[in-house]
Every structure is written in C-alpha cells, then in structure tokens.
Amino acid sequence: MKKLLVVILAVLVVVAVFAQKSGGRLVIAMETEPVGLDPHLVTAFASHRVLENVYDSLLKYGEGMKLVPNLAEEAQAVDPYTIVFKIREDVKFHDGTPMTVEDVLFSFERILNPDTKSPAAAFYQDVESIKAIGDNKIEFKLKKPMASTLLPNFAGVNSSIVSKKFVESGKNLQLETNGTGPFYLAEYVPGNYMILKKNPYYFVKDQPYLDEIKIVFMPEEVSRVAALKNGDVDIAKINEPLNLKQFPEGKFKIHRSPVLSYYLIGINTTRKPLNDPRVRNALNYAINREAIIKTVVFSEGVVTGPLNPAVQPWALLPKSFDEYTYNPAKAKELLAQAGYPNGFEFEIVTSQRYNFDKVAQVIQAQLAEVGVKVKIDLVEWGIFIKRWRESDFDAFISMNSGSIEPDIQFYRTFHTGGSTNVFLYSNPRVDELLDLGRSTVDITKRKEIYDELQRIIVKESPVIFLYSANQIFVSSASVENFKLLANESLVFLRETYKK
Amino acid sequence: MNRTVRKFLKNPFNMIFLLILISVLMVAVFPDLFARYGPYSMDYDAVLEGPSLKHLFGTDQFGRDIFSRCVFGLQKSVIIAFSSILFASVIGTVLGLIAGYYGGVWDLIIMRICDGFFAFPSLILALFIVALFGSSLLNLIIAIGIVYVPIFARTVRGATLSVRESLFVKASKVIGKSNFKIMLTDVLLNLSSVLIVTFTTNLSTAFLTEASLGFLGLSVPPPEPTLGGLVGQGTAFLLSAPWITLFPGFVIAVVVLSLNILGDGLRDVLDPKNR
Amino acid sequence: MSFAYLVRRVVTSIPTVLFVAFVVFITIHLVPGNVVDMMLGTQNYLTQEQIDQLYKEYGLDKPLIVQFGIWLKNIATLDFGTSLRTGKKVINLIMDRFPVTLELSVLSMFFATIIGVPLGIVAAVKRNSFVDGVLRVVGLIGLSSPSFWVGAILIVIFAGLFQGFNIFGYVRLKEDFLKNLQVMFLPSLTLGLMLSAQIMRMTRSSMLDALQQEYIKTAKAKGVSHSKVIGKHALKNALIPIITLSGIQLGYLLAGTIVIENMFALPGLGRLLLQAVNERDYPVIQFVVMFIALLIVVLNIVVDFIYTLVDPRVELR
C-alpha cells in the first residue's frame, strides 16, 4: 500500500444523450413528507430524498455506493491529516448567481457554528481548520489522522453547499431553497405535494432529463397502490411486498435494492439477566432471521451482520458467524450455562412503525420456544424516543441507518459513552479497536481491526442484528433509468426519463 | 318490572337479537371453546390464506387464524366497551346527581366542564388520551370512559331536576332523611330506567369508538387482538387480502347492531311516553 | 332572536373554549417525548447545551403556566403561533387543510340528507308496515357499521368494478374539479351512508309526531290533499329536530373524518392533527384542537339560530 492514500476521482463523463430522453413530467408517490428544508438541519429521510435533488455536496454517491465527485471535481487526501478539494467553477445557484469558494467556506462555517445546530457538526468535530487556497481549492486540516474516514461525510445532504448571499440576506432555509442541484423547488403544498422543476443552470450537460417532478404524499400504502394502478402516478414507493401482486409485468416495472438501514434488537447491557453476554448470545441463536424476513417482508430482505453485507470490503458476511444460524438447542445450552435453564422473562419496547411491531411479534413467538417470555410494550414513537434516549428498556426493536464507513456506523454506537450507545455497552478492547480503526489508513490493517470488532460485537451482542429490508419502488413501464441506492436516496432522478 | 320484560320479549325482533347478543357474550367469556387456534400461534406455511373450512375467516400475514383472533379480539373489545361505559356511568351519575340535586355553583361548574368536553369531538378526545398516555388496557378504558362521562352527567342531571321536585322526595325530606340517602335511594331508583337506556345505547357507540381507535392503531397493542385493530392491520392488504379487513368489521357490525336493536327495544318499553 | 342573546351565547362559550385549550395545553406538555426529542430521533448529535438552547428558542424552558399565559396573550393579539417543525404559520396550515375537511363534511351531509329524509318520510307515512320494518333494520345496520368497514367494502367494490375510477389521489377543487369530486365521492358516500341512518330515524319519529298534531288532522279533515299535508305541513314541523341533529352531526363529523381522511388519504384537518401529535408540534396541536372546539360551539349557536327561522314559536332569550 502506498503511504499516502491518494483518492483521485475522475470527472463524470456525461454519456451522449438522445433527444427523446429529455422532457416530460414524472409523478412520484411517497409515503412521507419532508420535515423542514434546511439542508444543514434536516434529519428526516423524506427531507434528504428531496433535498439531494435540490442541493449538491462536494461529493456524491454513484452506483454501488461509490464516492464520486460532485461540486468538487477532485478530492485528494494529501496525507491522513489533510484533504484538498478542487471546486468546480461552472456552477450556478438556482437564482442564477455563480457558486464560488466563498460559498463553500460559508457553508462549512454555517455547519460548524453551534448556533446552527447542524447534525453534521458532529461529523466535522475533528476538523481543525478550513481555508481556501487560491480561488478554486479548499483545504481541510484535521486534528486526528482520519482523512479517509471523513470523506463519506462530504457526500451527505447535511454537507450541502448553500449560497452565502442568499442566507445572509435573511432567508429562512427551512422554508426557501436555493441550491445548485438538478432541480429547483417550484411549489410545496404541505400535506399534499411538491413540485421540482428542471434547473436550467445545472452544471452537468443535458441533465436532468425531466422537466418536472411532482412528488405527492400518500401516507397510506393502499392509496399509493391504487394511484399507480390508475396511472395517476408514474412511480410509487411500496412497503408491503404482498402488494407487488397487483402490478403485472409488462405494464409495470419493479425496482428493488438492498439498503444500509437495518433492524435490530438493542439490549440494555446493565440489566439482569441480559447483562450476561451468554444470555444475550443465546437470544442470537434462538432467533430465526429467515423466518422473520419471510413473514414480515415476504422474503424481500437479507440477513445482516454488524455491517450490511453490501458494505465491502469491510463487512463480514452473516454466514461467517455461527450465531446467525438458527439453533434453539445451542440457545438453551447457553441459557443453562448462565443459570437460566427454564428461560426468563423480559420486556421489549417498540413502536408501531416500519413493521417494528410485526418483528416484535415474530420474535416473541420464536423466543417462547426456548422458554424466554417476551412482553411487548408498544408505545407511541415520542415515548419510544424518550425511553431510548434514557436507556429505559430491557430491550428495544428499532431500525438504524447504516453507513458504508464502519467508523461512522460503530464509533458512536459502541464506544464507551458514545452518543448513541444507549445499550450502555462498555468493553475496553472495543474502545481500543474503535480508536485504532479511526486513525488507521492502511486498508488491510483497518480490515483486520474491524473484523475483530465485528466478531466481538456479535459474540457479546449488545445489539442483535436482524435484517435489512429491500426498498421497493414500482413504476409504470414507460419510466426509464430509475435507479436506487443502498442509502435510500433518489439521487438518480436526474437521469430518469419517460419513454 | 315483569310486565316490562314480557313486553320486551314479545317482540320477535328483540328476541332474535337478544339471543345473538347472548351468544356473542358466551364467545367473549369462553373464547377457548370457540377458537380452534391460539390467537398468537403463527403458522409460517399458512400465510394469508383466504377463507376456507380450515380457516373460516382466512389467515393473516403470520398465518394466524383470523377467526380465532376475532374471538379473542371480541373478548378484549367487550371488556373495554363495557368497562368504559361502566366507568362513565358511575362518574357521570355521581356528577349528574350532585349538579341536579344541589344546583347552584355545583351545577354551574360541572355543566361548564361537561360543555367543554362536548365541544371536543369524542374520537379526538379519546385519541388524544391514548396517543399521549399509551394504550394499555386501563388507559383505553379511561380514555373511552371519559368521553361518555358528560353524556351520563347531563342525562342524570336532567332527570334529577324533575325527580327533585316530586312529592316523594319532598316527603322524604320532611321525614328527615339525609340528602345523601335521598339521592341514593329515591332519586337513583327513579332514574333506573333512564340509566338502563343510556347505558345500552352508549355501549354500542363505545364499542365503535374502541374499534375506530383500533383502526388508527391506538387500541391495545399487538399481538393482543382487538376487533378494530384487526381491521386496521388489514387495510394495507385491502386489495390483496380483503378478508383480513372485512370479517372483523362484520363482527363489529353484528355486535353493535344487536346492541342498538336491544337499546331501541328497551327504550320502547321503558320510555314513559310509550307506555 | 335578540342581539343580546347572541352576545350572551358567545360570551358564555368563551370559558368552554378556554377550558378546552387549557386541558389540551397541559396534557400535551406533560406527555413524555417533546418536540426536540422527536426532531433528534434515535440519533443523538447535539450537545446538552445545544439542546437546552433549542428549548429556550421554542420557549419550552419556562414553567408551563407561563407558557400558557404567553400563548393566550398571543391568541388575544391574533398571533396563532408557528409550527415548530415546518416553520409555517399555524393559521396558514389550517386554512390549507380545513377546506378539505369542510368539503368532505358538506358532501357527506348532502348524501345523508338526500338518502335519509325521503326514506324517513316513507317510513313515517307507511308506519308499522313491512316497508317500515325493513327501513328500520336498514337504518340500524347503517348506525351500527364502523365507517372504516363501510369504506373498505366500497373500496373493494369500486376497485373491482370500475377500473380507472379515481378512488385515491386527492387534488384540490380549483385544480381539477371533476377529479376532486371523483376522489371525494367514496369518502363522503361512506360518511353520508352512516349519517343517513340517523337522519332517517329522526325524520321518521318527528314526522310521526307532526302527523299526530291536531292541526294536521284538521287539515286532513278539511280535505287538503295527502301529499300536501305531508309535504307542506308535517314536514315543515318535522324539520326542527332534523336540523338540530344535522347541526350536531356536522360537529361530530369533524371527528369522524379523521378515520376517513386516513383511510382515503385526504389531507384534511384530522390528518394534520394526527401528524402534529406524532411530532409533538405543540402550537399546531394546540390551535387545531381549539379551532375544532370553536367550530362546534359556533355550530351550536347557528343551529339554535336556525330554529327561530324555521319555527317562529321558538324564542331565544
């Protein structure tokens, strides 16, 4: 391996575009509505999905979750402490003003300003300084040697580049937008729909192909199914795989892709009897993940370990862990070792969203077979969050958004005192590995570190990883080039067109 | 009283639906006799099967028998509806008695509060309480109960006002009975027929309120079945597996229909105007 | 109908509405999980100081009673608050959603009346006949069926029989009139069917009362035609209870629409309220509930007022 990790990302080559690709209006039915529009503040998936088409970040995810250049035409980790971006010079905001290095600097200052309260501030907490070099380069100096770990953050919506002039003129970004993305927000009727229109200044030649995207919000699955069948919408998000039967092939296209987010049982590692790693590990063996996937999502999902199997090269595949093979006999054996031959009783707190309640019901039935009695406490989401935050649970069932970067996924979750370590899990060796992984640049060494980490986490099971559900969209047959990404983004809408 | 009962039962209509209601109650009290499968037992090989002899109402996503879940759900729903109306009638009657018998400031305060609750659509109120305090069985009973308190309070108050002026209450006062005793014996006894009618009619709406909350996902949490909850879980599959939604809804309609017909019948025989 | 009466009614309903507002205010703030919790979700990225500052910004750091006072003061100056989650004025949100609920309610009342009143008249005129018996059962079935069940049946039927009929996909009235009516058809029919049962029963019983009045008997004796007796004299008298019932129902419809709005994906007031509760968007919850309470109070006053128009004998003091 080279001592210096040099990431040189090639400029996107625009594929020759045929005339019929451009034009047209696409109607998409989504279940959830954006909560706020300020790219530096939003946390809701629904906001991200819209805003990544309105704003651009320095980098973005291309196919297969590869980092590719976006507003930066080049990104270079000069050494583990330094990242230099070369900023594109042909970019204009939606209001027609050119984007400059000034705007980039301003955007990161805004993110890092504690008054902004941006979730992205936490990603950049180890940034020492940011400065412009000349009029088209920007340099990040880091306190820790973590340049390569940091790069994925520059592709997030929360790291979008906003217009300095626009913000300083007193505009409220939660309500108004002015980005550089392929579409601009033309109309938003809360509770109803949103219209994105083609950005004539967009810096990628000939993109986007569509003139207009109308996103209609239909929280009920049945209304999305009916609207798509009726031809009222071109694309709809489908959550119940069973409903796919409604869409005959030829008339419709089914788009599915694995996602990074995963279902999990989180365990409070300080409460008896679940404070005993053997007991937690027994639960691992007693759970039949395939059965959960089959019944809850009708086989539209994959078993996942600590890292989603798609996250390569880092992820250890589920079959490399003994625990992921359903083995009730082994579970009973472990329970007996821990002193609970006749099982025990505990409570799972969860909420009625994203199938959590259904997963809980299947797990309850499965654990009953090894003598473990589960009481499901189904609470309203707000109450769930409060109990989650205060570690007020024996165990909970929920979903976490994953990451392609193991450090991002693991550090705050399993480090002693980490901000999302609600399991109150603490293991000195894990802490050591996490710190080491963060500052190690050599890929082979890093892989060894994260391999050991994944083994420890599965063995000690502060979290029982369950599965990742596929995301499913169905479109009418006339929709072309609609692609999905594992981070559930719809960033490829700029390349979508209608026949 | 005997005459009333006879008159009530003479109507074949009342007879039929009384029998239906009694059988429904039997099912609710002894669910194990009627359900062929456990309400929670999952069968991964019989997922989303349509109605058949094996599964009368079909199966759900986890291969659970809808009929058996309806049977156990019926039990939960009956408990909730009955307890909440019981709760409402006790609290409402006490408040109504106080307001009607003592009048004055008591009357003003109690009735103003009732007005406040009346200005609050019943479902929204129940929804509020459940969404905010969680949907345990007890919370649910209280949430639905509170909605019906003002109805009882108002009805009892009105009736008390007229009874208060009657001769025998005045007579009781003359012979030195305490206010408390008068309220408990003379007044309450005279209100019994009004109470019975109010109880039955509101029982049916309480049943519907519980079902609506269940439909919105705010009733007793799964895996416990309630009839409204069963309907609500099915709606995502409405076009692919309509039986999950339609059968439990049918059960609700039958129960409420019987309650309404009996309420109607009771009113006919108990209401003085019809005597 | 005196002006003084109107003033008195309005003044006496103020405590009622304030009571509702106060109860709502206290409840929503006592509940675990506040707007900041909901915003952060299960990702903890803010420091405690930042969280405290957020509380301060939203005015959540003050004692509850002070917060309520501030809210009242703002209401008095016609400042109805701003949504914490979307940054929009609450009044604008309501103005956006209320027309949907209103349209649904009005259409439902329309269906309920055109089904309920004629059937009620028939039942009263043919009292105790077979037709009356059948109508009674039909009415009771209507009263007894949960709205979401009726809605589900209608959806299954319409989806099966009429391909291409727009069951879902709300558009605003002024955007596409015909499509709006199509989408509104099933939900308002669902609610209308259920309401028609009550209206039918009420029409029947008040028609029976009216038909037994002396003057009707006189009119009959005088040889006024049968249909005229029913249409002009009896029906006019029977209208009062029907109007009362419709008025009360219109109020309660607002609650019924929550379920139907959810089922048919209509962006109405009920959906707004549910969403606001889920997100703990206090100003929105607070004002939507008060708005509904106000509406019901006003509706009651209006109903009483209509009494006097229909029946001059009723005098409001």
One DSSP character per residue, A241-270 reads GGGGGGS-BTTEEEEEE--S-EEEEEE-TT
C124 vs C4, residue with greater confidence: C124
Task: Name the phi and psi angles at A443, rounded to 5.
Answer: -65, -40
Mark yes or no for CB contact C146/B120 under 8 Å. no
Task: List all residues 6 or more positions away from A312 whose beta carbon is below 8 Å from its beta carbon.
Answer: none
CB-nearest partner of A295 from B61, B239, B241: B61
Confidence check: pLDDT of A4 > 50: no
CA distance A466 to A261: 11
Tokens of C254: 């607002």
pLDDT confidence of C226, banded at 50, 70, 90?
confident
Task: List all residues 6 or more positions away from C20 whose beta carbon is below 8 Å from its beta carbon.
Answer: B116, B119, B120, C289, C290, C293
| Average pLDDT for A169-183 | 87
C129-133 long-range CB contacts below 8 Å, 24 or more apart?
C132/C204
Mark yes or no for CB contact A382/C42 under 8 Å. no
| Average pLDDT for A197-202 | 90
Chains near C with 3+ CB pairs less than 8 A apart are A, B
| End-to-end Cα distance, chain A | 47
Tokens of A50: 């819209």
Please give the C-alpha separations between residue A373 and each of A243, A337, A355, A370, C91, in angstroms, as whole numbers. Answer: 33, 18, 21, 9, 49
pLDDT in tens, B86-123: 999 999 999 998 888 888 888 888 888 887 787 776 77
Residue type (1 letter), B27: V
Mark yes or no for CB contact A190/C88 under 8 Å. yes
Superfamily of domain A36-170: Dipeptide-binding Protein; Domain 1 (3.90.76.10)
Contact indicator for A219, C265 with CB cutoff of 8 Å: yes
Percentage, residues of chain A above pLDDT 70: 96
One DSSP character per residue, C54-119 reads HHHHTTTTS-HHHHHHHHHHHHHTT---B-TTT--BHHHHHHHHHHHHHHHHHHHHHHHHHHHHHH
- Give pLDDT, residue C314: 53
Chains near A with 3+ CB pairs less than 8 A apart are B, C
Contact indicator for B252, B227 with CB cutoff of 8 Å: yes
The continuous run of DSSP H or E covering C18 comes out as: helix C3-30
CB-nearest partner of B212 from C16, C152, C259: C259
Which residues share a beta bridge with A28? A215, A235
Domain residue limits, chain A: 36-170, 262-469
- Give pLDDT, residue C317: 44
CA distance B120 to B126: 10
Per the prediction, chain A carries an average pLDDT of 86
CB-nearest partner of C42 from A35, A232, A398: A398
CA distance C279 to C282: 8
Percentage, residues of chain B above pLDDT 70: 96
Burial class (CB in 10 A: 0-12, 13-18, 19+), B105: exposed
Mark yes or no for CB contact A385/C93 under 8 Å. no
Q: Rounded to a whole number, what is the distance in Å from the CA of C182 to chain A's nearest CA? A: 13
Chains near B with 3+ CB pairs less than 8 A apart are A, C
Whether chain B has a CB inside 8 Å of the CB on C255: the answer is yes
pLDDT in tens, A228-247: 888 889 999 998 888 888 88
A64-73 long-range CB contacts below 8 Å, 24 or more apart?
A65/A310, A65/A311, A65/A404, A65/A485, A65/A486, A65/A487, A67/A7, A67/A9, A67/A151, A67/A152, A67/A155, A68/A9, A68/A12, A69/A9, A69/A10, A69/A11, A69/A12, A70/A155, A71/A99, A71/A104, A71/A161, A71/A180, A72/A154, A73/A11
The continuous run of DSSP H or E covering A142 comes out as: strand A137-142
Q: Rounded to a whole number, what is the distance in Å from the CA of B120 to chain C's nearest CA? A: 6
- Give pLDDT, residue B271: 63
- Give pLDDT, residue A8: 40
pLDDT confidence of A372, banded at 50, 70, 90?
very high
Give me the domains of chain B, ranges plus CATH numbers. Answer: 71-274 (1.10.3720.10)
Contact indicator for B235, C281 with CB cutoff of 8 Å: no
pLDDT confidence of B136, banded at 50, 70, 90?
confident
Which of chain A's residues have a Cβ under 8 Å away from the Cβ of B62?
295, 358, 361-362, 365
* DSSP state for residue A205 in the 8-state scheme: T
Residue C34 has a CB neighbour count (10 Å cut-off) of 20
Which residues share a beta bridge with A267? A395
Contact indicator for B238, B247 with CB cutoff of 8 Å: no
Task: List all residues 6 or more positions away from A245 whose beta carbon is below 8 Å from its beta carbon.
Answer: B240
If one looks up domain C92-280 in CATH, what number appears?
A: 1.10.3720.10
Residue type (1 letter), A178: N
Task: Name the phi and psi angles at B208, rounded to 5.
Answer: -70, -35
In chain C, CATH 1.10.3720.10 sits at 92-280
Which residues share a beta bridge with A264? A398, A465
The sheet carrying A137-142 orders its strands as A72-79, A82-87, A137-142, A127-133
Residue of A40, A41, A230 to mutate, interface with C, max C Cβ within 10 Å: A230
- Give pLDDT, residue B275: 38
| Average pLDDT for A450-456 | 93
Highest mean pLDDT among A108-117, A364-373, C124-133: A364-373
ipTM score above 0.85 = no
Residue B138 has a CB neighbour count (10 Å cut-off) of 12
Report CA B185 to chain centroid distance, whole Å: 26
Whether chain C has a CB inside 8 Å of the CB on A251: the answer is no
Task: List all residues 6 or more positions away from A21 whose beta carbon is below 8 Å from its beta carbon.
Answer: A206, A209, A480, A497
Which residues share a beta bridge with A198? A183
pLDDT in tens, C89-110: 889 888 888 899 989 988 998 9
- Give pLDDT, residue A427: 92
Superfamily of domain A262-469: Dipeptide-binding Protein; Domain 3 (3.10.105.10)
Q: From A119, A487, A157, A438, select the one nearest A308 (Cα to Cα).
A: A487
Would the pTM of this model clear 0.80, i.e. be above it? Answer: no
Residue type (1 letter), A9: L
Task: List all residues 6 or more positions away from C153 whose beta carbon is below 8 Å from its beta carbon.
Answer: B246, B249
Confidence check: pLDDT of C53 > 80: no
Confidence check: pLDDT of A280 > 90: yes
Tokens of C176: 């596409």
Mark yes or no for CB contact B257/C20 under 8 Å. no
Residue type (1 letter), C109: M
Q: What is the CA radius of gyration of chain A?
A: 24
Contact indicator for A186, A195 with CB cutoff of 8 Å: yes
| Three-class secondary structure of residue C237 per DSSP | helix
CB-nearest partner of A364 from B61, B223, B235: B223
Tell me which chain B residue has its CA closest to the CA of residue C261.
Answer: B216
- Give pLDDT, residue C12: 79
Q: Which residue has the tokens 């309500």?
A: A175
Catalogue the E-assigned strands of chain B.
none
| Average pLDDT for A384-412 | 87
Confidence check: pLDDT of B217 > 90: no
B6 vs A106, residue with greater confidence: A106
Which residues share a beta bridge with C42? none
pLDDT confidence of A6, banded at 50, 70, 90?
very low
- Give pLDDT, residue A266: 93
Tokens of C194: 């259920």
Which of chain C's residues have a Cβ under 8 Å away from the Cβ of B246?
149, 152-153, 156
- Give pLDDT, residue C312: 58
CB-nearest partner of A380 from B41, B47, B134: B134
Residue of B125, B205, B215 to mutate, interface with C, max C Cβ within 10 Å: B215
- Give pLDDT, residue B47: 78
Per the prediction, chain C carries an average pLDDT of 80
Tokens of B41: 């037992």
One DSSP character per residue, A357-400 reads HHHHHHHHHHHHTTT-EEEEEEE-HHHHHHHHHTT--SEEEEEE
* DSSP state for residue B41 in the 8-state scheme: -
CA distance C171 to A494: 26
CB-nearest partner of C168 from A43, A227, A380: A227
Which of chain C's residues have a Cβ under 8 Å away from the Cβ of A121?
45
| Average pLDDT for B245-264 | 89
* DSSP state for residue B43 in the 8-state scheme: -
Which residues share a beta bridge with A75? A85
| End-to-end Cα distance, chain B | 13
Per the prediction, chain B carries an average pLDDT of 83
Contact indicator for B242, C126 with CB cutoff of 8 Å: no
Tell me which chain A residue has its CA closest to the CA of residue B218.
Answer: A380
Tell me which chain A residue has its CA closest to the CA of residue C31.
Answer: A383
Mark yes or no for CB contact A383/B134 under 8 Å. yes
Mark yes or no for CB contact C156/B128 under 8 Å. no
pLDDT in tens, B41-59: 788 777 788 888 888 888 8
- Give pLDDT, residue A374: 92
Whether chain B has a CB inside 8 Å of the CB on C288: the answer is no
Mark yes or no for CB contact C258/B245 under 8 Å. no
The continuous run of DSSP H or E covering B254 comes out as: helix B243-270
